[in-house]
Homo-oligomer: A and B are copies of this chain.
């Protein structure tokens, strides 16, 4: 950040009065520009013992697999964001979604929130999905079939790991955790 988004004049890094950390502060109109972590809302679309993954058609991590997820937008709830991303990336809807995971990634200022639920069926009572514009393909995977070494982001490995563990033991608690750098794979 170089300039004030209010008045267009240069900003300086300084600790505002009553604060205890550096902020970008406008030298002209004195607006304080706070920067805060962002939420990424995602889904775990389930069909029996399978989970729906999307192969990314966009950067970063083009060609790698992910749960449908994306930045939460202003004006929506985290759940609404998660369901929107699931529709956009996999043309899939989720029934009775419940919060399943909250994961911090402090080194990139992100918090992931995941909601799990069965994929809504089509008129043939089959899980209904197809690639959205941001996906090369979308596919159902059992735990043993997941492309574990082709996942786009460590947080996807962590969420999927917990999901398969918990669905075997019928656990429904919300999983929490922190992704640290460097990430040590759970599968090694």
User: Which A residues fall within an 8 A CB radius of B?
Assistant: 1-11, 21, 24, 33-39, 71-80, 99, 102, 104, 106-107, 109, 111, 113, 172-174, 176, 178
Nearest CB of chain B from residue A158's CB, rounded to whole Å:
14
Other contacts beyond A2-B6, A8-B9, A173-B174: 6, CB < 8 A: A2-B8, A3-B4, A35-B74, A77-B104, A79-B176, A80-B106
Q: Give the residues in chain B near A33, CB-CB below 8 Å.
A: 5
| Bound CA–CA A33/B33 (angstroms) | 13
Nearest CB of chain B from residue A151's CB, rounded to whole Å:
22
| Bound CA–CA A176/B6 (angstroms) | 35
The residue in chain B whose Cβ has the minimal distance to the Cβ of A11 is B5
| Bound CA–CA A115/B34 (angstroms) | 23
Q: List 10 A-B contacts (CB under 8 A).
A: A2-B6, A3-B8, A4-B5, A5-B24, A8-B8, A36-B73, A72-B111, A77-B178, A80-B106, A99-B176
